[in-house]
Homo-oligomer: A and B are copies of this chain.
Amino acid sequence: MDLSHYFSTFERRDWQRIEEGRVRLALVGLGGFARERALPAIRRSTFCEATVLVSGSPETADDLAREFDVEHVLGYDEFEDGTASDAYDGVYVATPPNHHEAYACAAADLGKHVLCEKPLAAEPSAAERMVEHCANAGVVLMTAYRLRTEPAIRRTRELIADGVIGKPLQIHGGFSVTLLEDVGPDTWRLDPEVAGGGALIDLGIYPLNTVRFLLDADPITVMAETHTEGPPFDRVDEHVAVQLTFPNGVTASCTASFDAHPDSRLRILGSDGQVLLTEPFGGDVSQRILVEHGNTQTRYTGSPVDEVREEFDYFAHTVLAAVEDGPDGSDGLTDMRTIAAAYESAETGNRIEL
C-alpha cells in the first residue's frame, strides 16, 4: 500500500477554500500560552491580526502590545462594556475555564466571533449556555482544539478513513506533564472551581477530543479512575485513567497525569494495521508517525508545524469563508459531558452511558 500521498504534501491545508481575508482579534486573557504561543502564531498567520489585548495586568499587556504591535489594551470591564469594539471582529478567550462563559457571551453580544480555549467551560451547563448564546447571536463559536488543525492528526484521520489500518478497534492514548516543574503549585489548574477538574479536564481532554476526531464518532460509555497523592493535588485528579467505548465496539484507553514523566502518545490499532503517534499532545508536535499495514512499516519524521498558527488561521477561515466543519461549541460541549460522566464513574464505580 502506497502511503506517499498522505505524506508528500504533509502540511497541506485541506480545509482552505479562500486565499485572502483578515480577521482582527481581541485576545482575552494573557497567560503563558497566549503570550508565548498565540501572539507569535497570530503574527505569522495568513488570516489573523491581533488588534486588542484584554488583561487584568495593564503593564504586561502594554509590554506585549509594544512587542507585537497591538493597537488597543483594555481591562476586562472595558472589554465587557464594548470599548473599542470596532477594532476587532473576533475574540480569543484564553482565561481560566470558569471565566469563559462571561467573556464568550459578552463577545457574542457585541456580534463578535469566538475562539474559546479548551475546556469550553468549567462545567457542562456553562458550556451549554455558551453554545446557545453564540447561536442566538449568530456568531461562530469554535473550541480551541489545536490538534484538529495539526497536520499529523489530519493526515492520520485521512488514512484511517481510507481504510489503511482496516477497521479501527482499540486505541491507547496518554498525556503526562510535570505541572509543578512547569508552572509551580500556584496555578488555577489545581482549583477545581476554576478549572472544572484536574488532569482529566486539562490534559485528558486532548486524547479524548483527538480520538473522537480520528474516529469521526462520539463515545457511548465511559469508565474512569482518578487518584491523588495529596497536596497540592488534593482537590483535583492528579492521575486519571479513562476507558471509553465508541460505536461498533471500538474502545479507547486513555490516561493523563499532572505529575509524571512528561510524555504523550497515541496508538490506533485496527484490523489490518495500526498508527502510532509520538508526542502528539504537547504543543510542539514532533511529527513522528509510524503506520503499520500488514508487514509494512512506514515512518514519517517531518519538521514540526506551528499548530497554533494553523488553529488561528482555521478559526479566521471559518469566519471568512462561512464554513462550519471545525470543532464548534457543541463539539466542546460533548467533551464536557464526557468528562463530567468520567468523574461520575470514578466517584460511583459505574459505567456511565453517554
- Which residue numbers of A lie inside 8 Å of B, CB to CB? 165-166, 169-170, 172, 174, 176, 221, 223, 225, 227-229, 239, 241, 243, 245, 249, 251, 253-255, 257, 259-261, 263, 265, 267, 269-274, 292, 349-351
Contact = CB atoms under 8 A, between A and B. Distances in A.
Contact of A241 (B170, B263, B274, B349): B170
A269 B257 contact: yes
15 contacts: A169-B176, A170-B174, A170-B176, A170-B260, A172-B253, A223-B351, A225-B251, A243-B253, A253-B253, A259-B271, A260-B270, A261-B269, A261-B274, A261-B292, A263-B269
A249 to B, nearest CB: 3
The oligomer's copy count stands at: 2
Given A169-B257, A241-B170, A249 B269 contact: no
A15 B209 CA distance: 47
A326 B172 CA distance: 31
Given A170-B176, A174-B269, A351-B223, A241 B253 contact: yes
Q: Which 3 A-B pairs have the closest CB atoms?
A: A227-B249, A349-B351, A253-B253
A94 to B, nearest CB: 29
Nearest to A346: B351
A235 to B, nearest CB: 16
A65 B243 CA distance: 49
A273 B243 CA distance: 23
A243 B225 contact: yes
Contacts of A243: 223, 225, 241, 243, 253
B176 A257 contact: no
Contacts of A176: 169-170, 269
B241 A229 contact: no
Given A263-B269, A269-B176, A257 B170 contact: yes
A269 B261 CA distance: 7
A275 to B, nearest CB: 10
A172 B255 contact: yes
Contact of A255 (B165, B170, B225): B170
A172 B263 CA distance: 13
Contacts of A225: 221, 223, 243, 245, 249, 251, 351
A251 B235 CA distance: 20
